[in-house]
Structure 1
Amino acid sequence: MKNLVFGILLVLISASSFAQSADIEEEIKELSKQKWQWMADKDVDKLANLFHDKSKFVHMSGSWKKDRELEIIKSGSIWYKNAEVHDVAVEVFGDDTAVLWNRITLTAHVRGNDVSNEFTVTEFYQKEGQNWKLLDLTFSSVRDTHEIEHE
Protein backbone atom coordinates (compact mmCIF):
# COMPACT_ATOMS: atom_id res chain seq x y z
CA MET A 1 0.00 0.00 0.00
CA LYS A 2 2.87 2.37 0.82
CA ASN A 3 4.36 1.73 -2.61
CA LEU A 4 1.05 2.50 -4.32
CA VAL A 5 0.62 5.78 -2.44
CA PHE A 6 4.25 6.72 -3.14
CA GLY A 7 3.80 5.86 -6.83
CA ILE A 8 0.65 7.97 -7.14
CA LEU A 9 2.35 10.86 -5.36
CA LEU A 10 5.34 10.61 -7.69
CA VAL A 11 3.09 10.67 -10.77
CA LEU A 12 1.20 13.72 -9.48
CA ILE A 13 4.42 15.60 -8.73
CA SER A 14 5.82 14.73 -12.17
CA ALA A 15 2.63 15.87 -13.91
CA SER A 16 2.65 19.14 -11.97
CA SER A 17 6.31 19.74 -12.82
CA PHE A 18 5.67 19.04 -16.53
CA ALA A 19 2.69 21.43 -16.58
CA GLN A 20 4.76 24.15 -14.89
CA SER A 21 7.57 23.65 -17.41
CA ALA A 22 5.08 23.89 -20.31
CA ASP A 23 3.65 27.11 -18.85
CA ILE A 24 7.14 28.60 -18.58
CA GLU A 25 7.91 27.58 -22.18
CA GLU A 26 4.82 29.43 -23.44
CA GLU A 27 5.62 32.47 -21.29
CA ILE A 28 9.18 32.63 -22.68
CA LYS A 29 7.96 32.19 -26.28
CA GLU A 30 5.52 35.07 -25.85
CA LEU A 31 8.16 37.26 -24.20
CA SER A 32 10.59 36.61 -27.07
CA LYS A 33 7.87 37.47 -29.60
CA GLN A 34 7.19 40.74 -27.75
CA LYS A 35 10.93 41.48 -27.66
CA TRP A 36 11.16 41.28 -31.47
CA GLN A 37 8.25 43.72 -31.76
CA TRP A 38 9.80 46.11 -29.22
CA MET A 39 13.04 45.98 -31.20
CA ALA A 40 11.18 46.75 -34.43
CA ASP A 41 9.36 49.63 -32.68
CA LYS A 42 12.64 50.86 -31.11
CA ASP A 43 10.87 50.74 -27.73
CA VAL A 44 14.01 51.03 -25.62
CA ASP A 45 12.03 51.61 -22.40
CA LYS A 46 10.42 48.16 -22.57
CA LEU A 47 13.68 46.59 -23.73
CA ALA A 48 15.63 48.24 -20.89
CA ASN A 49 13.23 46.62 -18.45
CA LEU A 50 13.61 43.22 -20.14
CA PHE A 51 17.41 43.27 -20.50
CA HIS A 52 19.35 42.27 -17.38
CA ASP A 53 21.82 44.95 -16.29
CA LYS A 54 24.71 42.57 -17.09
CA SER A 55 23.19 41.23 -20.35
CA LYS A 56 25.37 40.64 -23.40
CA PHE A 57 24.58 40.75 -27.11
CA VAL A 58 26.55 38.92 -29.79
CA HIS A 59 26.15 40.08 -33.40
CA MET A 60 27.95 39.40 -36.67
CA SER A 61 29.94 42.62 -36.16
CA GLY A 62 30.81 42.27 -32.48
CA SER A 63 29.55 41.84 -28.95
CA TRP A 64 28.57 44.36 -26.32
CA LYS A 65 26.48 44.96 -23.21
CA LYS A 66 23.04 46.35 -22.43
CA ASP A 67 23.70 50.09 -22.68
CA ARG A 68 25.31 49.85 -26.11
CA GLU A 69 22.57 47.57 -27.45
CA LEU A 70 19.91 50.03 -26.30
CA GLU A 71 21.80 52.96 -27.84
CA ILE A 72 22.18 51.08 -31.14
CA ILE A 73 18.43 50.39 -31.19
CA LYS A 74 17.46 53.92 -30.14
CA SER A 75 19.75 55.59 -32.71
CA GLY A 76 18.66 53.27 -35.51
CA SER A 77 22.25 52.18 -36.15
CA ILE A 78 20.67 48.73 -36.32
CA TRP A 79 16.92 48.82 -36.90
CA TYR A 80 15.41 45.39 -36.44
CA LYS A 81 12.56 46.03 -38.88
CA ASN A 82 11.10 42.53 -38.87
CA ALA A 83 11.99 39.13 -37.45
CA GLU A 84 10.09 36.43 -39.31
CA VAL A 85 10.19 33.52 -36.86
CA HIS A 86 10.21 30.12 -38.58
CA ASP A 87 10.78 27.87 -35.57
CA VAL A 88 11.15 28.13 -31.80
CA ALA A 89 12.42 25.71 -29.16
CA VAL A 90 12.64 26.30 -25.42
CA GLU A 91 14.44 24.38 -22.67
CA VAL A 92 13.51 25.14 -19.07
CA PHE A 93 15.97 24.54 -16.23
CA GLY A 94 14.29 24.51 -12.84
CA ASP A 95 11.74 27.26 -12.43
CA ASP A 96 13.99 30.28 -12.99
CA THR A 97 16.13 29.68 -16.10
CA ALA A 98 15.20 29.15 -19.74
CA VAL A 99 16.98 29.04 -23.08
CA LEU A 100 15.09 29.84 -26.26
CA TRP A 101 16.27 29.23 -29.82
CA ASN A 102 14.58 31.06 -32.73
CA ARG A 103 15.27 30.37 -36.37
CA ILE A 104 14.50 33.66 -38.05
CA THR A 105 14.81 35.68 -41.19
CA LEU A 106 15.78 39.12 -39.94
CA THR A 107 15.11 42.17 -42.06
CA ALA A 108 17.13 45.05 -40.67
CA HIS A 109 18.42 48.48 -41.60
CA VAL A 110 22.16 48.48 -40.91
CA ARG A 111 24.52 51.37 -41.69
CA GLY A 112 22.14 52.83 -44.28
CA ASN A 113 21.27 49.56 -46.03
CA ASP A 114 18.33 47.17 -45.77
CA VAL A 115 19.59 43.62 -45.30
CA SER A 116 18.00 40.23 -44.78
CA ASN A 117 19.81 37.39 -43.02
CA GLU A 118 19.02 33.93 -41.73
CA PHE A 119 19.88 33.40 -38.07
CA THR A 120 19.43 31.05 -35.22
CA VAL A 121 19.12 33.37 -32.24
CA THR A 122 19.85 32.02 -28.78
CA GLU A 123 18.24 33.81 -25.85
CA PHE A 124 19.01 33.09 -22.18
CA TYR A 125 16.42 34.16 -19.60
CA GLN A 126 16.47 34.15 -15.81
CA LYS A 127 13.57 34.93 -13.51
CA GLU A 128 14.14 37.70 -10.98
CA GLY A 129 11.20 38.05 -8.62
CA GLN A 130 8.12 37.97 -10.83
CA ASN A 131 9.87 39.07 -14.03
CA TRP A 132 12.01 37.33 -16.63
CA LYS A 133 15.25 39.07 -17.60
CA LEU A 134 17.16 38.50 -20.83
CA LEU A 135 20.76 37.60 -19.94
CA ASP A 136 22.16 36.95 -23.41
CA LEU A 137 21.09 37.27 -27.03
CA THR A 138 23.37 35.69 -29.64
CA PHE A 139 22.89 35.77 -33.41
CA SER A 140 24.36 32.79 -35.29
CA SER A 141 24.32 33.10 -39.07
CA VAL A 142 22.85 29.94 -40.65
CA ARG A 143 21.59 28.67 -43.99
CA ASP A 144 17.88 28.85 -44.65
CA THR A 145 17.75 25.03 -44.48
CA HIS A 146 19.03 25.02 -40.88
CA GLU A 147 16.68 23.30 -38.43
CA ILE A 148 16.43 23.55 -34.66
CA GLU A 149 16.44 20.14 -33.00
CA HIS A 150 13.40 19.58 -30.79
CA GLU A 151 13.14 16.96 -28.05
Structure 2
Amino acid sequence: MANSQSEDLTTKMGFASKIQALHIKKFNWIINQQLDSLQNLFHDELHYIHSNGWKESKAEIFQDMASSKLRYDDIIVHSSDVRLIDSTAVVTGKGTFCVQMVGKPLEFKLYYTEVYVITNQGIKLISRHACKDSGL
Protein backbone atom coordinates (compact mmCIF):
# COMPACT_ATOMS: atom_id res chain seq x y z
CA MET A 1 0.00 0.00 0.00
CA ALA A 2 2.82 2.42 0.83
CA ASN A 3 4.33 1.80 -2.60
CA SER A 4 0.99 2.63 -4.26
CA GLN A 5 0.73 5.86 -2.28
CA SER A 6 4.30 6.74 -3.24
CA GLU A 7 3.53 6.12 -6.92
CA ASP A 8 0.37 8.24 -6.65
CA LEU A 9 2.37 11.08 -5.09
CA THR A 10 5.03 10.84 -7.80
CA THR A 11 2.34 10.90 -10.50
CA LYS A 12 0.63 13.90 -8.85
CA MET A 13 3.92 15.78 -8.54
CA GLY A 14 4.68 15.08 -12.21
CA PHE A 15 1.24 16.33 -13.24
CA ALA A 16 1.62 19.46 -11.10
CA SER A 17 4.97 20.16 -12.79
CA LYS A 18 3.35 19.68 -16.21
CA ILE A 19 0.57 22.14 -15.34
CA GLN A 20 3.10 24.65 -13.98
CA ALA A 21 5.10 24.49 -17.23
CA LEU A 22 1.94 24.72 -19.37
CA HIS A 23 0.72 27.74 -17.42
CA ILE A 24 4.03 29.55 -18.15
CA LYS A 25 4.02 28.46 -21.82
CA LYS A 26 0.50 29.86 -22.15
CA PHE A 27 1.77 33.32 -21.24
CA ASN A 28 4.48 33.06 -23.91
CA TRP A 29 1.89 31.95 -26.45
CA ILE A 30 -0.27 34.97 -25.53
CA ILE A 31 2.67 37.38 -25.92
CA ASN A 32 3.71 35.82 -29.25
CA GLN A 33 0.10 35.39 -30.39
CA GLN A 34 0.51 31.68 -31.04
CA LEU A 35 -3.17 31.25 -31.71
CA ASP A 36 -2.98 27.58 -32.70
CA SER A 37 -1.43 26.65 -29.34
CA LEU A 38 -3.95 28.78 -27.45
CA GLN A 39 -6.81 27.30 -29.49
CA ASN A 40 -5.77 23.84 -28.32
CA LEU A 41 -5.36 24.91 -24.69
CA PHE A 42 -8.50 27.02 -24.21
CA HIS A 43 -11.69 25.11 -23.36
CA ASP A 44 -14.68 26.04 -25.54
CA GLU A 45 -16.51 27.12 -22.34
CA LEU A 46 -13.62 29.32 -21.13
CA HIS A 47 -14.42 32.33 -18.92
CA TYR A 48 -11.47 34.74 -18.97
CA ILE A 49 -12.06 37.46 -16.40
CA HIS A 50 -9.78 40.49 -16.34
CA SER A 51 -8.89 42.54 -13.26
CA ASN A 52 -11.49 45.20 -14.12
CA GLY A 53 -14.30 42.63 -14.26
CA TRP A 54 -14.31 42.39 -18.07
CA LYS A 55 -15.30 38.81 -18.98
CA GLU A 56 -14.32 37.28 -22.30
CA SER A 57 -15.15 34.00 -23.98
CA LYS A 58 -12.68 31.97 -26.00
CA ALA A 59 -13.99 33.52 -29.25
CA GLU A 60 -13.78 37.07 -27.86
CA ILE A 61 -10.16 36.58 -26.78
CA PHE A 62 -9.20 35.57 -30.32
CA GLN A 63 -11.17 38.48 -31.81
CA ASP A 64 -9.36 40.95 -29.54
CA MET A 65 -5.98 39.44 -30.38
CA ALA A 66 -6.70 39.62 -34.12
CA SER A 67 -7.85 43.25 -33.91
CA SER A 68 -5.03 44.27 -31.50
CA LYS A 69 -7.67 45.63 -29.12
CA LEU A 70 -5.69 43.93 -26.35
CA ARG A 71 -2.07 42.98 -26.88
CA TYR A 72 0.24 41.50 -24.26
CA ASP A 73 3.82 42.78 -24.52
CA ASP A 74 5.27 41.02 -21.48
CA ILE A 75 4.14 38.87 -18.57
CA ILE A 76 6.45 38.36 -15.62
CA VAL A 77 5.34 35.67 -13.19
CA HIS A 78 6.61 36.47 -9.69
CA SER A 79 5.16 33.37 -8.04
CA SER A 80 2.73 30.58 -8.79
CA ASP A 81 1.41 27.46 -7.12
CA VAL A 82 -0.47 24.42 -8.45
CA ARG A 83 -3.07 22.49 -6.45
CA LEU A 84 -4.54 19.25 -7.77
CA ILE A 85 -8.06 18.07 -7.01
CA ASP A 86 -9.05 14.90 -8.88
CA SER A 87 -8.90 15.81 -12.60
CA THR A 88 -8.68 19.55 -11.96
CA ALA A 89 -5.66 21.77 -11.42
CA VAL A 90 -5.91 25.21 -9.83
CA VAL A 91 -3.03 27.62 -10.40
CA THR A 92 -2.72 30.74 -8.26
CA GLY A 93 -0.06 33.27 -9.06
CA LYS A 94 1.18 36.82 -8.96
CA GLY A 95 2.64 38.67 -11.88
CA THR A 96 3.24 41.87 -13.77
CA PHE A 97 1.28 42.14 -17.02
CA CYS A 98 2.43 44.71 -19.60
CA VAL A 99 -0.26 45.21 -22.22
CA GLN A 100 -1.50 47.60 -24.86
CA MET A 101 -5.20 48.37 -24.77
CA VAL A 102 -6.21 49.92 -28.09
CA GLY A 103 -2.57 51.00 -28.49
CA LYS A 104 -2.23 52.52 -25.01
CA PRO A 105 0.54 50.89 -22.91
CA LEU A 106 -0.56 49.75 -19.45
CA GLU A 107 1.06 47.78 -16.65
CA PHE A 108 -0.85 45.75 -14.08
CA LYS A 109 0.35 43.92 -11.01
CA LEU A 110 -2.11 41.06 -10.69
CA TYR A 111 -3.06 38.14 -8.52
CA TYR A 112 -4.69 35.47 -10.67
CA THR A 113 -6.35 32.08 -10.51
CA GLU A 114 -6.50 29.67 -13.42
CA VAL A 115 -8.47 26.42 -13.50
CA TYR A 116 -7.38 23.59 -15.78
CA VAL A 117 -9.40 20.42 -16.40
CA ILE A 118 -8.48 17.12 -17.98
CA THR A 119 -10.79 16.31 -20.88
CA ASN A 120 -10.80 13.68 -23.61
CA GLN A 121 -8.97 16.28 -25.72
CA GLY A 122 -6.25 16.84 -23.10
CA ILE A 123 -5.61 19.57 -20.55
CA LYS A 124 -7.80 22.65 -21.04
CA LEU A 125 -7.94 26.08 -19.38
CA ILE A 126 -11.59 26.57 -18.44
CA SER A 127 -11.44 29.59 -16.13
CA ARG A 128 -9.16 32.50 -15.35
CA HIS A 129 -9.80 35.36 -12.94
CA ALA A 130 -7.48 38.22 -12.06
CA CYS A 131 -7.55 41.07 -9.58
CA LYS A 132 -5.18 43.92 -8.90
CA ASP A 133 -2.50 43.09 -6.35
CA SER A 134 -1.40 46.03 -4.26
CA GLY A 135 1.20 43.85 -2.51
CA LEU A 136 3.56 43.53 -5.51
> Could you tell me the TM-score, scaled by structure 1's length?
0.84
Amino acid at match of 1:82: D
Corresponding position of 2:75:
83
* d(CA) in 2 for partners of 1:37, 1:127: 21
* d(CA) in 1 for partners of 2:3, 2:111: 36
- Structure 1 moving runs of 4+ over 3 Å: none
Give the 3-state SS of the residue equivalent to 1:42 in structure 2: coil
Q: How many residues align?
A: 135
Corresponding position of 2:118:
127
Corresponding position of 1:62:
54
* d(CA) in 2 for partners of 1:102, 1:130: 25
Asked if the contact 1:47–1:70 (Cα under 8 Å) also holds between the matched residues in 2, the reply is: no
Amino acid at match of 2:61: E
Q: CA deviation at 1:62?
A: 1.0
Answering whether residue 85 of structure 2 is matched by residue 93 of structure 1, we say: yes
What is the percent sequence identity of the aligned residues?
A: 21
Corresponding position of 2:8:
17
* d(CA) in 2 for partners of 1:16, 1:47: 31
Q: Deviations over 1:112-135 (max 9, x none)?
A: 211111001211001113620000
* d(CA) in 2 for partners of 1:121, 1:80: 16
Amino acid at match of 1:65: S
Q: CA deviation at 1:111?
A: 2.0
Q: Deviations over 1:74-126 (max 9, x none)?
A: 221111111100001000012x2100012100011112211111001211001
Corresponding position of 2:28:
37
Question: Where does the alignment leave 5 or more consecutive residues of structure 1 unmatched?
Answer: 1-8, 146-151
Corresponding position of 2:65:
73
* d(CA) in 2 for partners of 1:70, 1:144: 31
* d(CA) in 2 for partners of 1:75, 1:121: 25
Corresponding position of 1:110:
101
Give the 3-state SS of the residue equivalent to 2:134 in structure 1: coil
**Structure 1 87/141 Cα, relative in aligned 2: closer, same or farther at 3 Å?**
same
Question: Where does the alignment leave 5 or more consecutive residues of structure 2 unmatched?
Answer: none
Superposition RMSD in Å: 1.3
Q: Deviations over 1:19-73 (max 9, x none)?
A: 1111111100111111101100112221111100111110125112110011112
